[in-house]
Amino acid sequence: MKNNKLKYCWIAALLPITILLSCKKDFLDKPPIDSIVDANFYKTDEQVLAGTGLLYSKVWFDYNDKASYNLGDFRAGTAFSAYNDRGNVLFNTTGNTPENGSSWRSFFIVVGQSNLAITNINQYAGAGVSPQIKKMAIAEARFMRALAYRFLVMNWGAVPIIEDNLTLLSDTSKARNTEKSVWSFITSEMRAAAENLPTTPLRPGRLTKWSAEGMLARFYLTRAGIESNGAGSRNQVFLDSAKYYSERVIKNSGASLMKNYGDLFLFPYDNNSESLFSLQWVYSPGAWGTQNSTPAYLAYSPDIANGDGWGGDKSATWWMMKQYEGITANTTDDTLKGRTLDQRLKATFMLPGSHYNEITQTVPATVNPALKQKLIFPFNGTDNNFLSIKKYVTGKAEDVGGLSASQYYGNDTYMMRLAEMYLVYAEATLGNNASTTDTKALEYFNKVHMRAGLPEYILPLTSEVIFKERFVEFAMEGMAWYDLVSLHYYNKAQAYAILNSQDRGLFFTAPDKFPDPTVWTFSKTPWATTDRIINANDGNFLLPIPSAELAQAPNLLKPAVDY
């Protein structure tokens, strides 16, 4: 029994994935699994492409479902839940926190299924498979595996690198690998993927060379920090690499920013000009795990949903509201007041009185349950209310051409947008300097900043300015936590200072008039004095390895070794 304990840790990663029924995205269609894994399957280009199709969706489901925002935003402090997910909100994530286990499991499923795809394509691909398709499919799997390890190493630190599922089954001594080893491995993998992916997508939503080079820009920017050994000064070679790859994507990918920020999340936005890589969800009732379930947990009420809408206690945090230009605090920081020109606020969080013509709202039963109207976010409560989540909330089935149902939505999840490349270039140019007035860095920064409706930024760029821009640009896209981990690699004190300065407690938002307010006043709830501030430190910053995994795989407690 002892020699079998390690297997449980990644057993889900070694099992075949469940079948996807036919759906609207043809490259995700798959035949029965029993013909995928044998020598009779990988005989044509179409079969090989089908073999990697689910790497774009189902393998990521347990992460996307609820863990993406629990880890990426609740732990980061951009949003909170008042009554649920409190371990993540209060920075007390434990080995038994559900989203901890589900995300760990999902990432290792991605790793395992990517490994399986590589093995099967190399072993079974016949003469009917073109060399180009074979190279591309293997590159897709290497891309996905590298991205999964990026999430693993940034959440849990040292983790075991697995390239061969079958070897793992007979290896009872597998230990974790050091963080630097993991980063070296995934950078190498992503470079290989970039070499073999096409410059234009074979089909809408498929990976390209620019998807991989965009990830390399992201990887190198983060890796520049880990190579500093916490000394506060990032590795200049890797900063230069981040700058190089981000500019290549900006200039050569053909991608372009959407003209209006809010359009990024208006149905149907899938695979638009700004998306460099998105998870490819489908509206496929009955095929659990291939759809986007996240909107069910974010929509604030069934009034705008499809029998779900369980996000009534989710909201922007007090700290997050302070990041928007034009909303300012009084001297005691117990009241905020103002409005903002920043279009990203309305597209990310709902404030009382705001209109959303793309979403249908059922009028409350006390008025007339048979009536519907275009959504006007309600104003209610007396001393606390919530600024509910708008991103990824697309409304009722009638708002999306009938293509949604309870917990079944088809809108994709962004994993990388072109906007990030502009901000990566600006940050890599800033590098280890206190500020920069580099013309191109300012130009690229302003493409993101001004697209949001804000005036041109003309002062020197600093790390604080760029971080604030990233927090606002990517709030509720599961990004903020990883920005803080990147900062933590080279400047723990600053990462802790940001986290420990955040107010994550209840507050009340009042419009000056309803609807169509011109200004809002935000007041901290006077009786909610506890659980407003967290204490991030060396002991709780990284996630603990899930308890179920540690119980079955004691090797995870061994010191990490180089790979």
pLDDT class of 38 with cuts at 50, 70, 90? low
Distances (CA, A) of 457 to 17, 162, 176, 438: 48, 45, 45, 13
Percent of the chain at pLDDT above 90? 86
> pLDDT tens digits, residue range 412-437?
999 999 999 999 999 999 999 999 99
- 499 confidence band (pLDDT: 50, 70, 90): very high
Contact 257, 271 (CB under 8 A): no
- What the block records as the tokens of 307 is 């029998």
Q: Provide the residue type at 299 as one letter.
A: A
Q: How many CB atoms lie within 10 A of CB 10?
A: 23
- Close Cβ partners of 398 (under 8 Å, ≥ 6 residues apart): 360
Q: Please, what's the b/e burial string for 478-499 (b: 16 or more CB within 10 A of its CB; e: otherwise)?
A: bbbbbbbbbbbbbbbebbbebb
d(CA 71, CA 87): 10
Task: Please give the Cα distance from 42 to 50 (Å, whole number).
Answer: 9
Question: What pLDDT score was predicted for residue 348?
Answer: 98
Q: What is the token pair recorded at 4?
A: 């079998």
Q: How far apart are CA 31 and CA 383, in angstroms?
A: 55
Res 410 pLDDT > 90: yes
Torsional sign, CA 149, 154, 155, 157: positive
Task: Identify the band that residue 24 occupies on the pLDDT scale cut at 50, 70 and 90.
Answer: low
CATH, domain range 2-13+33-196+542-557: 1.25.40.390
User: pLDDT (tens digit, 9 = 90+) per residue, 228-280?
Assistant: 766 789 999 999 999 999 999 999 999 999 999 999 999 999 999 999 999 99
Q: How far is CA 20 from the centre of its chain?
A: 23
- Specify the residue for token string 């920020």: 261
* Type of residue found at 242: A
The yes-or-no verdict on residue 15 having pLDDT over 50 is no
Cα distance between residue 195 and residue 210, in whole Å = 10
| Residue intervals in the chain for CATH 1.25.40.390 | 2-13+33-196+542-557
pTM: 0.94
Q: Is the pLDDT of residue 142 over 70?
A: yes
User: Cα–Cα distance between 26 and 363 in angstroms, integer?
Assistant: 38
- pLDDT exceeds 70 at position 539: yes
Percent residues over pLDDT 70 in the chain: 91
Q: How confident is the model at residue 57 (pLDDT cuts 50, 70, 90)?
A: very high
Lowest mean pLDDT among 36-45, 493-502, 522-531: 36-45
Higher pLDDT among residues 512 and 27, named by residue: 512
Please state which of the ranges 95-99, 285-289, 324-328 shows the lowest mean pLDDT.
285-289
476 pLDDT above the threshold of 70: yes
- Over residues 79-138, the pLDDT tens digits come to 999 999 999 999 999 999 999 999 999 999 999 999 999 999 999 998 999 999 999 999
pLDDT category at 26 given cuts 50, 70, 90 is low
Determine the pLDDT at residue 242. 98
- The residue with greater pLDDT, 165 or 478, is 478
pLDDT at residue 174, as a whole number: 80
- What is residue 552's predicted lDDT score, i.e. its pLDDT? 85
- How many other C-beta atoms lie within 10 A of the C-beta of residue 363? 13
Which range has the worst mean pLDDT, 2-6, 46-50, 164-168, 238-242? 2-6
Query: Which of the four pLDDT bands, split at 50, 70 and 90, describes residue 23?
Result: very low
Tens digits of residue pLDDT in 346-391: 999 999 999 999 999 998 766 666 689 999 999 999 999 999 999 9
Quote the tokens at residue 284.
Answer: 């496929």
Check residue 17 and give its pLDDT.
Answer: 44
Task: Please provide the average confidence, as pLDDT, over all residues in the chain.
Answer: 92
How far apart are alpha carbons 233 and 360 in whole angstroms? 50
- pLDDT confidence tier of residue 404, bands split at 50, 70 and 90: very high
